[in-house]
Amino acid sequence: MTVLWSRFDSPVGPLLLTADPNGALTSVSVPGQKNGRTVQESWRLEPAPFRAAEEQLAAYFAGELKEFRLEFRTAGSEFRERVWAALDTVPYGATTTYGEIAARIGASRAAVRAVGGAIGANPLLIVRPCHRVIGADGSLTGYAGGLERKVQLLTLEGAL
């Protein structure tokens, strides 16, 4: 399958955007991201399909957009897809915990570690707001894009 890609300069650093051949967003990554994507030789640089994503990201970073409305397509296990769908319901400016996400998807408290793994595997940084998930004690726990970016995003949203 052909992967389309583009870069977007943001206040949290350059973002690598990928999409499928139909233009559906498949990932948003930052340099040095744990399990982040890197441009492959077979990928095709094609900025046009990313115009809506770039406009919405620019509006988000300007404090003018609170909810992304983009077509995206991700591939994960049924469990990960449920966790990612729960992330999509965490509103701008709010935070939630790993335990609350587990409860939202009907998973047991014992599943909190698996929920954390699914959140860490989120391929759509910023767009799917995994940065809004914090520790039960209010601590800013791991973020695949780096804790300094998590702080920047939560500060932008007024959650810190």
Could you confirm whether 130 is annotated as catalytic? yes
Task: Name the nearest CA neighbour of 50 among 65, 35, 32, 28.
Answer: 28
Question: Residue 108's pLDDT is what?
Answer: 86
Name the one residue in this structure whose structure tokens are 């409860």.
Answer: 103
E-strand stretches of the chain: 4-10, 13-19, 25-29, 44-45, 96-97, 133-134
Q: Which is catalytic among the residues 101, 130, 144, 156?
A: 130
77-80: list long-range contacts, CB under 8 Å, 24+ apart: 79/107, 79/114, 79/118, 80/118, 80/121
| pLDDT tens for each residue of the chain, 160 residues long | 799 999 999 999 999 999 999 999 999 999 888 888 999 999 999 999 999 999 999 999 999 999 999 999 999 999 999 999 999 999 999 999 999 999 999 998 888 999 999 999 999 999 999 999 999 999 998 899 999 999 999 999 999 8
Question: Residue 110's pLDDT is what?
Answer: 83
